[in-house]
Amino acid sequence: MAIQILTIESAPFAENSYLVWREGGTEAFVIDPGFEPDLIREALADRGLTLAAIVCTHGHVDHIAGNTDLKRAFPEAPIYIGTRDAAFLTDPVVNMSAAFGFSVTSPPADHLLNEGDKVTAAGIELEVFDIPGHSPGHVVYLIREMKPLVVLGGDVLFRGSVGRTDFPGGSFPLLRAGIERVLWPLPPDTVVYPGHGPVTTVGHEKKTNPFLMD
């Protein structure tokens, strides 16, 4: 049964949330719910799906703003996040919502993740890899079952760009090293679903990304 991925863009930061499910199944998981969780709930309802998990790549406000709403609607859906970004969920200063003049918090994580972990949600296995630099505990998720492979990448690698590293806890050397260690060895046709902007591939970015070329 094929795996489906639906992009749901949330204002005001044009953040990409992804709804992921297996054709013929009854469950889905969501990556990085943004400021418009109603769009996610509508997409679930339209497809007759229940939310099985809330999976975060990192803890910045635009990627966790919908957690509370979705956890209220689906209280059995666990929240996953990288260990070193756990504090972002419950602290508006750390998740940077306070810097924008409002306070956003999420329920705390149900499961903390580190490289080498595997998460199974809605019958789909995700492999966890650490790529810090945009945030200290940023993780990406690889779906090895899909052909070509798929990376749910958050704010690590964009089409023609990379995640910002000028936020607290950011580091461009760490980000670049993580991209080169984790993503570059993957097949060139590996599809990267980023936290903002259009999808891209490992091969395209390896050849053309101006932030990562020697």
pLDDT in tens, 57-75: 999 999 999 999 999 999 9
Angstrom distance (rounded) from CA 75 to CA 192: 29
The Cα–Cα gap between 141 and 144 comes to: 9
CA angle 192, 5, 32 (to 5 degrees): 70
Superfamily of domain 3-208, CATH level 4? Ribonuclease Z/Hydroxyacylglutathione hydrolase-like (3.60.15.10)
State the Cα–Cα distance between residues 33 and 62, nearest whole angstrom.
Answer: 8
Confidence of residue 100 (pLDDT cuts 50, 70, 90): confident
> What confidence score (pLDDT) does residue 214 get?
76
Helices then strands, each counted (H, E), the chain: 5, 14
Q: Return the domain boundaries, the chain.
A: 3-208
In this structure, the chain runs to a length of 214
Q: How does pLDDT run across 6-17, given as a tens digit for each residue?
A: 999 999 999 999
Average pLDDT of the chain?
97
133-168 per-position pLDDT tens digit? 999 999 999 999 999 999 999 999 999 999 999 999
- Tokens representing 48 are 């007759």
pLDDT at residue number 212? 97
